[in-house]
Structures are given as C-alpha cells and as structure tokens.
Amino acid sequence: MNLESKRIIVTGCASGMGAATVRAYTGAGATVVGMDIVEDAGSSVCADATGPGSAIFVPVDVADYDSVQEAFGKAVGHLGGLDVIAHPAAVHSAGAAEAIPVADWDRIFAINVRGTMLTNQAAHPHLKEAGGGAIINFGSISGQRAESGSAAYSATKGAVHAWTRSAA
C-alpha cells in the first residue's frame, strides 16, 4: 500500500482500530491527523507512529458539532487539504435490550451515530474541494445481526451501515 502524498484524518486514534489505522497509514507514507477525545493516548499514538509518513494529534469530541468543526479546521489547515477520512471512533456498551439505561443509549448513539454524521459532513466540503476522496466509516458485523448482549451497540452500527449507504 502506497499512500505517499495522501492527507488523511483518522478518528478514534487513541486505541484499537483507530490506533492501528494511524500506524498503517503513516507506515504507508501518508500524512495523518489522528483525533480522539482521549488526549494523552491519542498524542502518544501519533507521536509513536513511524514510517515514511507522519502523524500529529488534534483533540475532538465526535459527538459535539463545534468540536468537530474546530478539529477539522485545524486538521485540514495542517494537511493543506484532505484526501481521506477514516472514521473508526466508537464506543461499545454491553447490555440486554430490556436493561439499557436511557443515558447509556443516548451516549452510545451520540458518539457512534451522530459522530459519524458530523465527521462525514465536516469532511465532505474538503474532499469535494480536493476533487474527490474517500470516507471510510467503520461498521461492524454487529450492525447486521442480532446481538442480545450488545443491543445498543448493534443498533448504532446498523445505523452507521444505513447512513454510509445513503450518504454514498
């Protein structure tokens, strides 16, 4: 994979798939801005990313409109444009459907679903200005099958799948 000269934003970079994505993209030569709400871990991942590419960290709360707008402005300014957004940022909450507290439901939907919409919308004008690009939303098999122990998470990932098909 050769990503030299590609300008990429990766959300959820502080751990898991987001951290692995930052490492893979910088290893393939991309210039990356990693974003997360967890600043210490996100900064560390970006500082430690090695390869011909490079990464910096910008804090973001993907569930908050103003935070997303500010972070994307900083990121695109640093990158000089945008070619790709990889959006793995999400949270998981285990629990049976009959026992999910409303506050947990609202939190997981805000991060996983609203966060997908907000980051995609923030990326769109910059991708259009660049003449095209890619939005990579991270779904899950959980959004395609019933998971009684992860009902809220599964519902959010189903929404991410539907959003991605519709937005495309």
Report whether 49 contacts 22 (CB < 8 A).
yes
Query: How far apart, in whole angstroms, are the C-alpha atoms of residue 88 and residue 135?
Result: 11
| Chain centroid offset of residue 164 CA | 13
The reply to whether 153 belongs to the active site is yes
Catalytic residue (choose from 108, 153, 155, 157): 153
What the block records as the tokens of 54 is 């490079």
Computed over its alpha carbons, how large is the radius of gyration of the chain?
16
Check: CB of residue 22 under 8 Å from CB of residue 9: no
Active site residues: 153
